[in-house]
């Protein structure tokens, strides 16, 4: 987005005005052209204007000495929940449109290094305004794509805040038209095997006519098979009922295969916590809550978690999830970074790093993680100017301390820039 467009949003009152001065970043090791290079970066109007060693730019208003640091593109989380806090809401937060938790979570995501995100489930009432706001470099949240309320196979047609069902073609057409009118980018389908076959086909056809892309839960072999048969644009989750059959594995590594967003770090985290006497002590609380809000959260978390029945099987299902995840990686499938953040005990200030740690534990090199969480994710979501450090690209950048042992770790994160605007700075008094 141009500086003029950002100013227009600020004038409209959606975001506070901010500064993105012409910037020169020197001395860093930069991930560009699929390799590390010792080059300097010149940023102008929120984009990368020049990349070269020894850059001299007299007009630069800000200079960042990045000696001893590394620069990678901003991370793209392809599966987030923005309204959910990951636990019990403080008093007054538990009602639509969940303004308090959305603001807290958006800021935490951006400061953690996530500069773009796809919201798996969103609502039609406030999602479009939130998406518009997120396009501004000034907005303290990642730029967003929206998934709309999830459509549940065999589900009730009574709409919830983030879920809905359909019964016939007329409802399918009305629903997808409403999504398109609200600026939704994706339609999220769940429990594909519970749809009537004709109903599922009509829903997908209607969505495509409205210009919506399709993401579909592949959390069972039957659902994954249906998702691939219908040519969806993204598969969410992996089967937990069986190992992925060889014919489906072959389809997932074909050149035309949809990317797979298969969170694994969260399930390792929650499975471990559920085995402890108090999961709340293991998982802690979200960042950014006030002291009274943190105490309220912590005092109610374990009771709240026990009421979330669908998380209690995390430890039992983890071996199958991990086996299928490793099978996809070994086969070379297009797996993208996605965290499922907002799920129970999964907090927005650390989710992306939990996922990265799980990928590295699975044997993936830092450079492979970076590629799947930036360039490949941008391509899958349809961004042509994100996810890479090259002249003309949007200046979404993470600057990390390369002296931190272990490569990609949250402790190494020093700066977060979104279209040239600094949203995290090593000076605690700054942003």
pTM for this one? 0.94
In order along its 431 residues, the chain shows pLDDT tens digits of 444 444 444 434 556 678 889 999 999 999 999 999 999 999 999 999 999 999 999 999 999 999 999 999 999 999 999 999 999 999 999 998 899 999 999 999 999 999 999 999 988 888 889 999 999 999 999 999 999 999 999 876 666 778 888 888 888 899 999 999 999 999 999 999 999 999 999 999 999 999 999 999 999 999 999 999 999 999 999 999 999 999 999 999 999 999 999 999 999 999 999 999 999 999 999 999 999 999 999 999 999 998 987 777 888 899 999 999 999 999 999 999 999 999 999 999 999 999 999 999 999 999 999 999 999 999 999 999 999 999 999 999 999 999 987 789 999 999 999 999 999 999 755 44
State both tokens at 271: 């499975």
Report pLDDT for 117.
Answer: 98
Number of alpha helices (DSSP H) and beta strands (DSSP E) in the chain? 14, 20
* Residues contacting residue 235 through CB under 8 Å, at least 6 positions apart: 215, 216, 217, 218, 224, 227, 228, 252, 258, 259, 260, 261
Domain ranges of the chain: 3-73+387-424, 75-381
State both tokens at 205: 């056809």
6 neighbors 137 (Cβ within 8 angstroms)? yes
Would the CA dihedral through 252, 255, 258, 262 be positive or negative? positive
Rounded Cα distance between 218 and 180, Å, is 24
Report pLDDT for 312.
Answer: 76
Q: Tell me, yes or no, if the two domains 3-73+387-424 and 75-381 fold the same way.
A: no
Q: Which residue has the tokens 């990265």?
A: 356
DSSP, collapsed to helix, strand or coil, labels residue 363 as: coil
Q: Provide the CATH topology of domain 75-381.
A: TIM Barrel (3.20.20)
DSSP, collapsed to helix, strand or coil, labels residue 145 as: strand
Burial 107-145 (b: 16+ CB within 10 A, else e): bbbbbbbbbbbbbbbbbbebbbebbbbbbbbbbbbbbbb
216 backbone dihedrals φ, ψ, rounded to 5°: -135, 140
Longest dimension (CA), the chain: 65
- For the 3-73+387-424 domain, the top CATH level (class) is mainly beta
């Amino acid at each position: 987005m141009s500086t003029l467009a950002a100013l227009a949003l600020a004038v409209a009152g959606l975001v506070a005005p901010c500064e993105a001065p012409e910037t020169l970043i020197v001395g860093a090791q930069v991930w560009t052209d699929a390799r590390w290079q010792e080059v300097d970066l010149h940023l102008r109007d929120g984009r990368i204007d020049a990349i070269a060693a020894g850059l001299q730019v007299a007009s630069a208003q800000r200079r960042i000495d990045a000696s001893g640091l590394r620069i990678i593109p901003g991370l793209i989380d392809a599966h987030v929940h923005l309204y959910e806090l990951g636990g019990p809401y403080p008093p007054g937060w538990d009602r639509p449109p969940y303004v308090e938790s959305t603001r807290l979570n958006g800021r935490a995501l951006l400061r953690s290094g996530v500069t773009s995100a796809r919201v798996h489930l969103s609502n039609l009432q406030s999602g479009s305004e939130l998406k518009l706001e997120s396009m501004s470099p000034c907005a303290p949240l990642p730029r967003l794509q929206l998934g709309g309320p999830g459509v549940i196979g065999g589900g009730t047609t009574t709409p919830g805040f983030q879920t809905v069902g359909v019964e016939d073609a007329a409802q399918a057409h009305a629903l997808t038209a409403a999504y398109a009118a609200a600026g939704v980018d994706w339609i999220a389908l769940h429990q594909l095997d519970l749809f009537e076959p004709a109903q599922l086909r009509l829903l997908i056809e209607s969505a495509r006519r409205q210009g919506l892309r399709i993401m579909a839960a592949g959390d069972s072999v039957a659902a994954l098979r249906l998702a691939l048969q219908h040519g969806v644009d993204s598969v969410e989750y992996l089967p937990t009922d069986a190992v992925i059959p060889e014919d489906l594995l072959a389809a997932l590594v074909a050149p035309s295969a949809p990317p797979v967003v298969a969170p694994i770090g969260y399930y390792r985290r929650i499975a471990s916590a559920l085995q402890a006497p108090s999961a709340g002590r293991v998982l802690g609380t979200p960042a950014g809550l006030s002291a009274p809000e943190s105490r309220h959260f912590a005092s109610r978390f374990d009771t709240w978690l026990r009421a979330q029945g669908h998380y209690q099987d995390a430890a039992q299902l983890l071996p199958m999830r991990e086996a299928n995840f490793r099978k996809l990686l070994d086969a070379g499938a297009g797996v993208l970074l996605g965290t499922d953040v907002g799920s129970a005990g999964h907090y927005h200030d650390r989710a992306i790093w939990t996922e990265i740690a799980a990928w590295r534990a699975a044997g993936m090199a830092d450079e492979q993680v970076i590629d799947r969480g930036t360039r490949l994710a941008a391509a899958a979501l349809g961004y042509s100017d994100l996810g890479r450090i090259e002249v003309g690209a949007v200046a979404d950048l993470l600057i990390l301390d390369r002296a931190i042992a272990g490569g990609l770790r949250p402790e190494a994160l020093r700066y977060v820039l979104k279209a040239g605007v600094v949203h995290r700075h090593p000076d605690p008094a700054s942003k």
